[in-house]
Structure 1
Amino acid sequence: MSAVTVIQNNFNGGELSPLMGARTDQVRYGNGCTKLHNMLVLPHGPALRRPGFQFIGKCRENTSRVRLIPFSFNVDQTYILEFGNKYIRVWKDGGLVVNKTGTPIEIGTPWTSEMLDFLSICQSADVLFIASSFTLPHKLCRGGHALWYIEQMVLGSSMKPPINLNAQSKGIASREYSYVVTAIDPFTREESEPSEAITFQGPETISVASTVTLTWQSEQADAVYAIYKCWNESGKYGFVGHASSKKWVDRGATPDFSEGYPVSRKLFQRVDEYPSAVQFYQQRLCFAATRSQPQTIWMSRSGSYTNFNISDPLRDDDGIAATLAAERVNKIEWMVPGRQLIVGTAGSEWSLSGGDNKAVTPSSIKFERQSTIGAAPVPPLVVGESILFLQQGGKVIREFLYSLQKDGYMGTELSILSEHLLKGNPVVSWAYQQEPYSVVWCVLSDGSLAAFTYEREHDVVGWHRHVTEGKFESVCCIKGSEGDELWCVVTRNVNGAAYRYVERLAPYSMDGIEEQFFVDSGVSYRGEKTATFSGLDHLEGKSIQILADGFVIPPQVVSEGRIILPYAASVVHAGLQYSSELIPTEQDVMLKSGSSRGRTRRVNRMCLHLYESSGVQVGVGNVEPLPVLLGDGAVLDATPALFSGETVVEVNGGYEMQSNVLFRQEEPLPFTLLSYSMQVEIGER
């Protein structure tokens, strides 16, 4: 019989696959857990109970799918867009955005609930560009806090071409000439399509004595005009001059045929020509993947997002159309801008650039295949220098990162050590919460959340699983006053009916035990002391947990949208209960006689190092977890205090082949485990 002390002071390996159960040689095994439910791991190493989800409001419809989209003009002006069945509603600061009459803003859309998962979205300032293979591209525009509208994109130059072009000439008419005029924005330099050509008989040689005077009309104020001239049978027009007014005199200018006027290009005219992906790259708006051309990318003129026109001959800032040359016709699923435009297709990943560190132009464009993994249609996440994307099927997460050794991108798998979480359960929606702890949240097809703490510079990839009384449907993140806010749509069953709620993860950092928020779909009250707590209509008939002024109140059933507290309180949080559980990996102990594997063991004493915790339970073997008494005991009528420090627990487990240590938190209180150690008696073989 040998007595040893086992310690684990790092949990950021996360929940590991059962297939890792014997990998004591793997670094993350020693830092991992067998089970980590409704707990997170921090980059520093501790395991932390996740905060609860605050109830924000009900979705407009309960019977059809809803998708949340972030809208961020800057760090201070951020919104959540509720995309539903042919509508959009706008959320901000914990409530719906309303108009002057108090009515929630609602924008009609052409997209049904079945189309929402296939929308591709990118943003520029106050405009959201939306692509879908079901409709023409659209723009969602914010004209003010309560002024939102959607419109179908009109492709082409925003500058209107001049009209009523007229020509008068001096001299004997003996030669045919043709002219067109375009309007140019003096600030953006965007050029209109040409006016209707005027053809007439002029002098054999245009000179100072024998001139041609052009006049025209224009809707554009303060425009600059470009004049193009044709004097041969080829029909080619060449640039001959600029005008700042609606008049120009030709005194014998020679056309520059290397600079032609813009040529209109008609795109996306039929249903099978609607693009399904949209993104920005090098000041160009890029569309990709129509049904008829699934591997083609169309790029706008530089700086003119709706203008895909070209010139004859081509200019460097003209619109671009480029098609991947690959062995198989795999549809482009998404595009991500960076030093190159990264393109994910159903069968491989590519980079698009101008080559040799050049800008992309019609004559300088280069595709390079980076990997042959194959991407799922879910939009990727950009985390620092990394691109996280889902492998085809949605059950494997890859990290796409530039490698100096390869001089290209590599797709490292991030989910392999915790593959059981996604096995047969693909990701349908995900979001990255950068602050405070760098967590990627993934909604799975079964309605649960799988998340992982991700800090590449510290080599932290720790997975954890989160469940609630209901099913998660969509997640997204925006900047908030206390870090990034995770918003989600949750379907909950109340009195036999399913309801879709918009909920938000509570902040991680809260002062005092009375402000701890560890209930789901919960609401809070702060004000004068009261024994009646209302605002719970969305949980009618549900048994809920309550924290009142820092004290845990026995569960109560909501009736008529309220509960009655046993005493008046000024700070109350109430909502659905959820249980947090942590089972660490079984540590291998090296004895003088060899490994402890295959021997019985008995745990009789544990030391827990906790941080701002209360209400924790611990158990070993098949023993039901027991409450851990923290601190020196409660003081009568005083607000309970959170405990930080070490505490010893006598557990007196039986002899088992494994220790089976279990930590559990079921009360609406925090739990942060920094480390634990246990005295273990190791039996003989």
Structure 2
Amino acid sequence: MRTRPILTAFNGGEASPLMGARTDFAKYPTLCRRLENFIPLVQGAVTRRPGTGFVRKAKGKCWLVPFEYSVDQAYMLEAGDSYLRIHLNHGTLLDGAAPLELVTPWTLPLSTDGDGACRLRHVQSRDVMYWACAGVPQQKLSRLGATNWTLERLKTRNGPFKDLNDDKAVTVYASAASGSITLTASADIFLPGHVGALFFIEMKDGGGLLPWEPGQVIAVDDLRRSDGKIYRCTAVEDVSGAAEVTGTVKPVHTYGRVWDGHNITGDDQDNGAEWEFIGCPYGFVEITAVASGTSATATVTGDWDLPPGVVGAGNATWRWAHAAYSDVEGWPEQIAFFRNRLVFARGSRVDCSVAADYQNFASKDYGVLTAEMAVALQIQSQRNNRCQWLAPTGAGLLIGTAGGEFLLSEQTSSEPFGPENAKAAPVTAYGSRGIVPPLVGATSLFIARAGRKLRAAAYSVEADGFTAPDQTWVAEHITASGVIGLAWADQPHALLWGVRVDGQLIAFTFDADQQVYAWSRHPMRGKVEAIGVIPAPQGDADELWLSVAREIDGETVRHIEYLTPTRDATAARDEWWHVDAGLMLRSDVDVTSVTGLDHLEGETVQVAVDGASHPDAVVTAGAIALVTPGRTILAGLPAPAVIEPMTLDVGGGAGTAQTLTQRIAKVSLRLVNTGGLKVGPDTAHLDQAWFREPADIMGAAAGLFTGDYELDFDGPWGAGARFTLVADGVQPCTLVGAVIDITTNG
């Protein structure tokens, strides 16, 4: 029986061998047994992955961190072992002839998780990037000018702190109210690791200060408590022979001097006093040295001096607290922005800064609790699982822990998020790996705890809550070795790029609106160790950057590279780029050799001359010789692309044809902008497709082919009909559809 089925789409992506018999699956005809270095497009076609351009050798193993001030000002940061380099516009920021380099506090072991994923966390606000990494204090990277960058410790103000001490037998007092002071404790509470951390101290039982009340006798220099603050009387109404008493207006100011009333009745009663704000019943210090467990030197910080009720041995207080983060407690491991607040997290603790004041973690506004103040909470669950990532969404701050996912949001939607209107509620219970999930529309794509499943977390109206369906069930083999990195590139192809534990680059075409969920693999010569995405220099696309480890000339080197742009019919013939770690030379005259290829010393590279295929060449002393001279030369490592659709279920007559003997006699390919490919029953038996027309100039690049191309196919008889297409040269290839001429025996 002869049949001629058509394959109209390939955007089901590469499927697991376990899907081999699922002809009942609606997307079965769009699946592929193998899809390497082809990108499945939302429209249904697959297009050959563009090659990568070489930027510079990395200093060492590193992570790639996007720094995006705007669409047209974007940098890629190379964060390695105690150093930071800055790349932009496919080059590197220099300090003289050498790369500009900042010293960082994180080492490579500190910034690498046990499963191989990156532990560096970062969020950006215009020219400033805030960093968190387990084992080191938070950092602040500032771009002060084109070549003026600084990295310094991020010091917070007024917190955050651990819970207040509740053991009344353990007290602390200060030697003075301002400047450099000594803290003396009644028990061992100080450790060397507290140096550099904040310390909170508060008067006990009101500190012996009377509360302000109207009509009470008062004198200059008297202290009173009012509205959570402390005031000193600096002047009183003075009527001869009359008692001096307070007025009727309660002091609430936070700076300067204000009268609480004055003699307006005309009688002989003094009823007004002037009050100077001197602070609150509590204060903050930064520990600068630890002499012993009971003695530490500190510097008073904050907007006011320490209250008198904590100064001196007679004012020892049990109301004190250590900083929530220090060398003793550990430093924040996660960082994010949420509701215009800077958020830290470590373990099950989450701290949100004062609204719109990112380095201020005050729990009260001059003694008064308001909605703008800092928020501190513990994630409550049956298991004490550590926070793995923070991901802001429209519904709230999604928090991934090793045991499940939570949503930090308002308890009451009618009130603003704040210390009295915050909750962290469980939403799913899958557990997460420590990889920050990209937000795609309203969906957060996160890697589950074992590292082998990608889940899409989003609010579902039907479920009236969050759901996180598995996106890898059709292709579980793609992520079987584990995923250690993700990066989202929305333009032009809606791709989630990923890095596996074994160093292979993978991609997931994701468009929920069009119901396209397609995996593909993108093997390269070498091992991909890190990826990141920034806008391309032209601002018209998102650009994937990679750090790739390769064995070159007998040693392991690491290349910083970027994925070159996807081309279309408007591109010049010599602009297409399908080699990796490549360099392109443009000259005003014909050249017969190319230099500058030291990063590929000893490697056999593929070459294109003015867009035409050229024989391979070996890099010697950083150069290659050309057989055919030209003006635009591209050279780089091969990046062959392979597609093998699923076994077709056609021609069975009375039932399935899956186990019947079949043979393909002819294949008609519908192609767009294609310059080279081979087709056969498998990769060992391929026939070259020829697109050169008689009118094409010999030696020059032929025009790219768009249309239907028919090949006679000398396929063998066998169980199931399938074909393989390979694009392994320097030419582009886009496959839109295929018509297969199949003969079935049985």
Interval containing the TM-score (normalised by the shorter chain):
0.7 to 0.9
Any idea what the Cα deviations from partners look like across 1:638-682, whole Å, max 9, x if unmatched? Answer: 431111100110012121112230101111110110111111110
Q: Does 1:533 align with 2:528?
A: no
2:62 counterpart (63, 66, 70): 66
Q: 1:355 to 1:566 in 2, by over 3 A?
A: same
Equivalent residue for 1:555?
A: 616
The answer as to whether partners of 2:531 and 2:545 remain within 8 angstroms in 1 is yes
CA deviation profile, 1:348-373 (whole Å, cap 9, x unmatched): 11111122313221111122210111
Shift of 1:177: 2.5
Structure 1 residue 7 displacement after superposition: 1.3
Deviation at residue 567 of structure 1 after TM alignment: 2.8
Alignment correspondent of 2:252: 240
Cα gap change, 1:540/1:180 in structure 2, threshold over 3 Å: closer, same or farther?
farther
What is the SS of the residue equivalent to 2:369?
coil
1:88 paired to 2:84: yes
Question: AA paired with 2:542?
Answer: D
**Equivalent residues in 2 for 1:323-472 (5 A)?**
323-338=378-393, 339-357=395-413, 358-423=415-480, 425-472=481-528
- Where does structure 1 differ by over 6 angstroms across 4 or more consecutive aligned residues? 179-182, 259-262
Q: CA deviation at 1:526?
A: 1.0
Q: CA–CA distance in 2 between the matches of 1:532 and 1:678? A: 44
Q: CA RMSD in A?
A: 2.9
Could you list the per-position Cα deviations for residues 326-379 of structure 1 after superposition, in whole angstroms to 9, with x for gaps in the alignment? 111011111112231111111011111122313221111122210111011111
Cross-structure match for 1:490: 548
Deviation of 1:605 after TM superposition, in Å, equals 1.0
Cα deviation 1:511-547 (Å, max 9, x = unaligned):
1332211111110011222112111001111111100
Cross-structure match for 2:734: 672
Q: Which moved more, 1:50-59 or 1:310-319?
A: 310-319
Matched, 1:647 2:709: yes
Q: Shift of residue 509 of structure 1?
A: 1.2
Q: Give the corresponding residue for 2:39.
A: 40
* SS of the residue 2:475 aligns to: helix
After superposition, where does 1:38-437 map in structure 2 within 5 Å? 38-61=37-60, 65-99=61-95, 101-116=96-111, 117-156=118-157, 177-178=222-223, 206-207=236-237, 239-241=251-253, 248-249=258-259, 251=261, 252=272, 264=284, 266-289=323-346, 294-311=347-364, 312-338=367-393, 339-357=395-413, 358-423=415-480, 425-437=481-493
Pick aligned residue for 2:574 from 492, 511, 514: 514
1:636 deviates by: 2.7
Aligned equivalent of 1:627, options 660, 666, 688: 688
Q: Aligned residue for 1:226?
A: none
**What do the CA deviations read for 1:91-142 (whole angstroms, capped 9, x no partner)?**
000111124x344211101111112221221111111111122011111111
Is the contact between residue 239 and residue 260 of structure 1 (CA under 8 Å) also seen in structure 2?
A: no
Secondary structure in structure 2 of the residue aligned to 1:586: coil
Percent sequence identity is 29
Give the whole-Å Cα distance in 2 for the aligned partners of 1:307 and 1:263: 14
Amino acid at match of 1:50: R
- Secondary structure, in 3 states, of the residue corresponding to 2:110? helix
How many residues are paired up?
Answer: 624
CA distance in 2, matches of 1:18, 1:553: 37
| 1:407-432 alpha-carbon deviations (Å, 9 max, x no partner) | 21111111110101111x11111101
Q: CA deviation at 1:28?
A: 2.0
TM, length-normalised to structure 2: 0.79
Measured after TM superposition, the shift of residue 180 of structure 1 is 9.2
Cα distance change of structure 1 residues 172 and 469 upon mapping to structure 2, 3 Å threshold: closer
Change (3 A) 1:567 1:208: farther
Deviates more, 1:650-659 or 1:433-442: 650-659
Instruction: State the SS of the aligned residue for 2:253.
Output: strand
Which amino acid letter does the alignment assign opposite residue 492 of structure 1?
Answer: R
* Alpha-carbon distance between aligned partners in 1 of 2:224 and 2:363, rounded to the nearest angstrom: 19
Instruction: Determine the C-alpha separation between the residues in 2 that align with 1:612 and 1:262.
Output: 72
Among candidates 559, 568, 577, match of residue 638 of structure 2 = 577
Q: Which piece of structure 1 moves more, 351-360 or 429-438?
A: 351-360
Structure 2 residue runs without a partner (length 5+): 112-117, 160-176, 180-215, 241-245, 262-271, 285-320
Q: Are 1:488 and 1:502, in contact at CA under 8 Å, matched by a contact in 2?
A: yes
SS, match of residue 222 in structure 2: strand
SS of the equivalent of 2:4 reads strand
TM-score by length of 1: 0.86
In structure 2, distance between residues paired with 1:610 and 1:589: 23
The answer on whether the counterparts of 2:388 and 2:402 sit within 8 Å (CA) in structure 1 is yes
1:380-416, Cα deviation, whole Å (9 max, x unpaired): 1111111000100211100001101222111111111
Alignment partners' CA distance in 2, 1:325 and 1:95: 47
Residue 499 of structure 1 corresponds to 557
Partner SS state of residue 534, structure 2: strand
Deviates more, 1:507-516 or 1:72-81: 507-516
Contact 1:617/1:625 (<8 A) preserved: yes
Question: SS at the partner of 1:27?
Answer: coil
Q: Which residue of 2 aligns with 1:168?
A: none
The amino acid across from 1:361 in the alignment is: G
The superposition leaves residues 250-273 of structure 1 with CA deviations (integer Å, 9 ceiling, x where unpaired) of: 543799x9x978864744233323
- With over 3 angstroms needed to count, the CA separation of the structure-2 counterparts of 1:309 and 1:374, relative to structure 1, is same
Cα–Cα, structure 1 residues 118 and 551, in superposed 2: closer, same or farther, change >3 Å? same
CA–CA distance in structure 2, aligned partners of residues 605 and 322 of structure 1? 67
| 1:679 partner SS | strand
Match of 1:613 among 662, 669, 674: 674
Q: Is the 1:621–1:656 contact (alpha carbons within 8 Å) kept by the matching residues of 2? A: no
Letter in 1 for 2:31: G
Distance 2:224 2:483 in 1: 58
Report SS of the residue matched to 1:677. Answer: strand
